[in-house]
Amino acid sequence: MASKQEIIAGEILKRVHVHNPDYGGIFSETTGTQGSGKTAILLSFAKYTINHFPEEKIFWRSSYDSPLQFFKIGKGGFNIMVKRGSYVVFRDRDKKLAHVDLKHTIFDGFDDLYEKAKPGKINAVFFGDGKEWIDYLGWSRGIGEWAHYYIDELGDVAPSFTSGDMWKKVGDFANILKDVRRCMMNIHTNTQSTKDVDYRVRAKIMLKIFLPGAVVDGTTRVRQRAVDNLIRNPEHGNQAYLDMGGQFGVTIFADIFKPISGYHIDAHILTENEIEKLYA
């Protein structure tokens, strides 16, 4: 028999995936230690969306200079999109970072990006500049249809301890996040440590997911002991603790996305030096 917390977890996950304009969109953050399955949770949410809402658009933000994770969704499951003039290249980490030609769509502005994005696929977007994600999410509030945004490593987009213009930019992001519920945007993010993410942005999180090794902070009533007791099971999936507005649930994420062996491609923004060498 399912425990009370398992039942609540089921209700919370239903809420994540239901498209009821009265409930609106959701902003979630998953934390956990390295390799605890944070990216796998984003992939499992994206896979659910692809299966149940194939007409909707999904956007995915990847880190640069580390293996691209969206490949794990499988061939045909993604569409790579690169901003025109952005100096983004793809490299093979198994071949001394040799540049590889990946099939991709070029886009110009945000309208063009949204227009060209393919429904029912993960649209992996490369702006070549982290701050553009904030502007794109701001722009997206006006779309008026359900759309999904996955931000792998939120700390790269909304880092803590910024100053000056970047501090203001991250403040803009926190303001944008106030509107996600009403604007039918589902934003799912992850980070290793809550300390990596700006506190103004963290204050807007509606659903917190804790995987093994996560460190809880003052913004949740989840106890550290509860997270420390989560069961790690690499065969059947790690347990996770969910906190949605003070409702607590425990579940197992059974979707396990294994690395694709021998396929280590990263995205990289060419430095000025590299550009000079390339065109010398």
Ligand X SMILES: Nc1ncnc2c1ncn2[C@@H]1O[C@H](COP(=O)(O)OP(=O)(O)OP(=O)(O)O)[C@@H](O)[C@H]1O
Q: How many residues bind to ligand X according to rule CB under 6 A?
A: 18
Q: What does the alpha-carbon distance between residue 185 and residue 120 come to, in Å, rounded to a whole number?
A: 16
Residue found under tokens 């509107």 = 179
State both tokens at 234.
Answer: 């690499």
CB of 234 to ligand X, least distance (A): 5
Beta strands in the chain (DSSP E): 26-31, 57-61, 78-83, 88-92, 98-100, 105-107, 122-126, 147-151, 185-191, 207-210, 239-244, 247-252, 265-269
CB-nearer residue toward Mg ion: 39 or 49:
39
State both tokens at 219.
Answer: 């913004």
Residue nearest to Mg ion (CB): 39
Q: CA-based angle 209:211:212, to the nearest 5?
A: 155
CB-nearer residue toward Mg ion: 38 or 188:
38
Cα–Cα distance list, 200 to 23, 61, 138, 175, 237 (Å): 23, 20, 16, 9, 32
Q: What residues from 28 to 87 belong to the interface with Mg ion (CB under 5 A)?
A: 38-39
Q: Which of 237, 243, 249, 266 binds ligand X (CB under 6 A)?
A: 237
CB of 33 to ligand X, least distance (A): 7
Partner whose binding site includes residue 35, from ligand X, Mg ion, none (CB under 5 to 8 Å by kind): ligand X
Q: Which among 21-29, 156-164, 216-224, 255-263 is the span making contact with ligand X, rule CB under 6 A?
A: 255-263
DSSP secondary structure letters along 258-270: ---TT--EEEEEP
Q: Which of 238, 251, 266, 268 binds ligand X (CB under 6 A)?
A: 238
36 near ligand X, judged by CB under 6 A: yes
- CB-CB neighbours of 56 under 10 Å: 17
Residue 1 contacts residue 246 (beta carbons within 8 Å): no
261 near ligand X, judged by CB under 6 A: no
CB of 256 to ligand X, least distance (A): 4
Q: For the window 175-194, what string marks contact with ligand X as x by the rule CB under 6 A?
A: -----------------x--
Q: What residues from 112 to 131 belong to the interface with ligand X (CB under 6 A)?
A: none
Partner whose binding site includes residue 257, from ligand X, Mg ion, none (CB under 5 to 8 Å by kind): ligand X
Please tell me whether residue 241 adopts helix, strand or coil conformation. Answer: strand
Which residues form the interface with ligand X (CB under 6 A)? 32, 34-40, 192, 234, 237-238, 253, 255-259
Which residues form the interface with Mg ion (CB under 5 A)? 38-39
